[in-house]
Amino acid sequence: MSADLNVAELKALVRTVPDFPHAGIQFRDITTLIGHPQGMAASVRHLAALAKVAGAQKIAGMEARGFIFGAAVAVELGVGFVPVRKPGKLPIETIGIDYALEYGTDRLEIDPGAVSAGENTVIVDDLIATGGTALATAQLLRLAGAKVERALFVIDLPDLGGADRLRAAGVGVDALMDFEGD
């Protein structure tokens, strides 16, 4: 097996789409990263190494791109995966949390039996921007009894403050790469 791609090589695989979804926005598109076999594999291995150091007993990922990276990290570590879903997607009684968006609210739900009391659960997602979804995920997992002390992302957009919001809530944050000014 060849050596993993380094962070600079991974960052080069992320496509920037200007003016999407609005003028002035630089959209960071992971489609090119996950479509690159070595890039996807290296990203998962790097995230898994961070999750292992954090003592992950479960990995949680948010719909939809958190499923891509989170499930792969869980497989790499040999631990279970907790899908954090949009409302109405699970066929059982769920627990959920409403959270604020820029305009309005949204909701996340999980199977209440997906985590055990005190189970060290690490959040994995593709990108942290304002942090609203990740913060709601941490709160929801904690409501279910999980210990949530670490969140991992492929990309951080630090100027949007999401990682700082998570840290303020007692969740350490690591990202493989960041893009300033977005």
User: Which CATH number belongs to the domain containing residue 105 in this structure?
Assistant: 3.40.50.2020
How much is the pLDDT for 1?
Answer: 39
Phi/psi of residue 162, each to 5°? Answer: -65, -45
Q: Tell me what pLDDT residue 60 has.
A: 98
Greatest extent of the chain over all pairs of C-alpha atoms, in Å: 48
Select which of 65, 107, 142, 165 is catalytic: 65
Domain range spanning residue 54?
40-178
pLDDT tens digit sequence for 34-92: 999 999 999 999 999 999 999 999 999 999 999 999 999 999 999 999 999 999 999 99
Q: Any catalytic annotation for residue 150?
A: no
- Please give the pLDDT value at position 182: 53
Are 157 and 134 contacting, i.e. CB atoms less than 8 angstroms apart?
no
Of 45, 63, 93, 102, which one is the catalytic site residue?
102
Domain count, the chain: 1
3 pLDDT band (50/70/90 cuts)?
Answer: low
Q: Is residue 89 part of a domain?
A: yes
From the list 95, 89, 86, 82, the residue with the least C-alpha distance to 143 is: 95
In a domain, 28, yes or no: no
In this predicted model, what pLDDT tens digit does every residue of 134-156 receive, in sequence order? Answer: 999 999 999 999 999 999 999 99
Q: Give the contacts of 34 (CB within 8 A, at least 6 positions apart).
A: 40, 43, 68
Asked if the structure places residue 5 within a domain, the reply is no
Give a yes or no: residue 138 inside a domain. Answer: yes
User: Does residue 32 lie within any of the structural domains?
Assistant: no
149 carries an active-site annotation:
no
Mean pLDDT confidence for 100-125? 93
